Amino acid sequence: MNFYKSAALALDHLEKNQGSVKGSLAAAGVKATPGEAKRILALVIETLKYKSTLQQLLTTVPLSSLERLTFPRKVPRHAPSSSSLLLVLTHDLLYSPRGVEASDKWPPKQALTRHQARLKAELVRLQLKAGVSRKEDLAKSSTEVSARYVRWNPNVALHRSGDWSIEALFTHLKMKGFERVEEAVYPVPKGKYFMDPHLPDCLLVFPPSTNWWVGDKWYEAGAVILQDKASCFPAKVLMEGWTQDEGECIDATAAPGNKTSYISALMSSQSRLLAFERSAPRFATLEKMLAKGQCRNVIPRRADFTDSDPHDPEFAKITRILLDPSCSGSGIVNRLDYLLEDEVDEPDAQSSRLEKLASFQLQMILHAFRFPSARRVVYSTCSIHAEEDERVVLAAISSGIAKERGWRLADRSEVLPSWERRGRPEEMGDDEQMAESVIRCLPREDKTNGFFVACFVRNEGETNGLQRGLKKKAGKSQKGAIKENQAEHQGENGNKRKRDEVDTEASKVPGQKAKTAKTAKAVTGVKAVEAPEAVADDEDIAMIDGGNDIDARTKTSAQLERARRKKAAQKERKRLKGGEA
């Protein structure tokens, strides 16, 4: 009984279009052992496959009305909805060889059994109407997946005994019956594979139905990692031109660890790579992934990247930062998520959600810009919405801190130049060159998940100037340095988040226009997804409004407090003068 209720709770959660199918159990608060969770998830997936058919049946045979006492419209808090419970029960009644696995005395099973004959008769009618001979042919199927991608992980070859080289992998696959072909062809023929033309040193492309890695020693050892092609792009772009003596890197939102492990591999498992993750469950997943992948240069940290102090000496050598923040996930359409593609948010709800996400995404970019030694910042999303992609990038590059510190978009030659699909000029002020600097991936056309990648860079001389300034400050007396740090980075309200450009930039824009109410809400007046405390704590957020190049500023709380006191003092002086008169 709890089995069906847990599956129904997961369906309720997915009905709101939050997260992925695989993450629905944890997101819905379902507590189960690994074995139970696997069984519940299987039922959720199978129910989603037949959801359209089951809903038609339950419309024709309205059990919610016929058995309203058992399946009431209103249910207690934390209980699954009757509609979702009916879906999972009806699925097992009609599609499971074992039927509904519950006591015959359980009221929901009794209610369903009373209408079993009619439900089966209506199912046959649906088969005839659809022109299919089997009831299984009424399942929803994905037409998106044309390939499966497997990334070879060289870290295992570096640190584990035995031969884990790419050549050894080729030999292993040949023994399993796979033939390597030289030319890329989609869909990939059965029993064949090829090296991806954009990532030919590590990414193998297989037929969509392939699962040779299940229980295979290469997968169990972490020598191969299942990772979508587009998901590999951010790390590849980040590490372009990397040399071991350059410095250190940060992955700002690291879990589950696929991108982190790829960065580590591109660093040859040398130099420090700090991996931030604020969520406790996701951090545990990250640690397991890093251990399995032999990512020995990675230092995982359970913390919020936006809470870090860019001027902390610990980050003095950070030259490259990867940002892959929370996003709508609108580009994830393959594998299990195609089951949710008909679950669309209402326009107003989606717009509001995108505004909140864009606010947080921009917050992260601007925070990364503050690291004194940073030379390269890569921003990516698995979204196809311009609100999270080109518009966020345009706002970031138009911000005061970007102009102050020399940040610009990298040229196309530095951002996977062989990838043909680039950004949308109409979303970047009709600037063709700027649009050419970013990458877009579309699911159907590009054989990947939907994805977006942008790379911000600045010259080494500009970072050296900031480093010299920091060294000069460090040479002052401790008392003087503390005073200067307080004056430069801390508002009068006691907020300890560093604020290093606001007053300077604000003085440069005396005639600045006020933000529209919509933009103020979109950028600074809403709580950000995943990190709600971050938005209100940043003053250097540019306008995101259809790609317009508007550099908008917000005042610090300290400035607002000074203005309030000044206004109050003026009123008091006027009152006293009026009394004297």
Given a cut of 60, whether residue 467 has pLDDT beyond it is no
Q: Is the peptide bond prior to 187 cis by the omega test (within 30 degrees of 0)? A: yes
- On the question of pLDDT at 271 being above 80, the answer is yes
The residue type found at 157 is A
* Listed range (27-41, 238-252, 314-328, 382-396) with the worst mean pLDDT: 27-41
What is the number of other CB atoms lying within 10 angstroms of the CB of residue 29? 11
User: 153-194 pLDDT, tens per residue?
Assistant: 999 999 999 999 999 999 999 999 999 999 999 889 999 999
Phi and psi at 517, nearest 5°, equal -60, -35
**Mean pLDDT taken over the chain:** 81
DSSP secondary structure string, 266-315?
HTTT-S-EEEE---HHHHHHHHHHHHHTT-TTEEEE-S-GGGS-TTSGGG
Looking at residue 141, its pLDDT comes to 60
Residue 37, C-beta contacts closer than 8 angstroms, at least 6 positions apart: 25, 30
Of the candidates 295, 382, 441, 455, the residue annotated as catalytic is 382
pLDDT at 572: 67
Helix 460-474 to helix 478-489 angle (10° resolution) is: 130
Nearest of 323, 374, 320, 351 to residue 530 by alpha carbon: 323
Please write down the long-range contacts of 18-26, taking CB distance under 8 Å and 24 or more positions apart.
Answer: 19/329, 20/329, 20/332, 20/336, 20/337, 21/45, 21/48, 21/336, 21/337, 21/339, 21/340, 22/336, 26/281
Secondary structure of residue 380 in the 3-state scheme: strand
Least confident of 82-86, 98-102, 496-500: 496-500
Asked if 397 contacts 409 with a C-beta cutoff of 8 angstroms, the reply is yes
Least confident of 146-150, 214-218, 542-546: 542-546
If pLDDT is split at 50, 70 and 90, which confidence band does 1 have?
low
Quickly state the pLDDT bin for 47 (edges 50, 70, 90): very high
The answer to whether residue 455 is catalytic is no
Sign (positive/negative) of CA torsion 26, 383, 260, 207? Answer: positive
Residue 187: partners with Cβ closer than 8 Å, 6 or more residues away:
146, 147, 207, 208
Res 443: pLDDT: 82
Residue 31 contacts residue 38 (beta carbons within 8 Å)? no
Helix axes 116-130, 82-95, angle to 10 degrees: 80
Residue 137's pLDDT is 87
Compute the distance between CA of residue 182 and CA of residue 406 in angstroms, rounded to an integer: 43
Q: Are 363 and 369 in contact (CB under 8 A)?
A: no
Is the per-residue pLDDT at 531 higher than 90?
Answer: no
Entry field: residues in the chain: 581
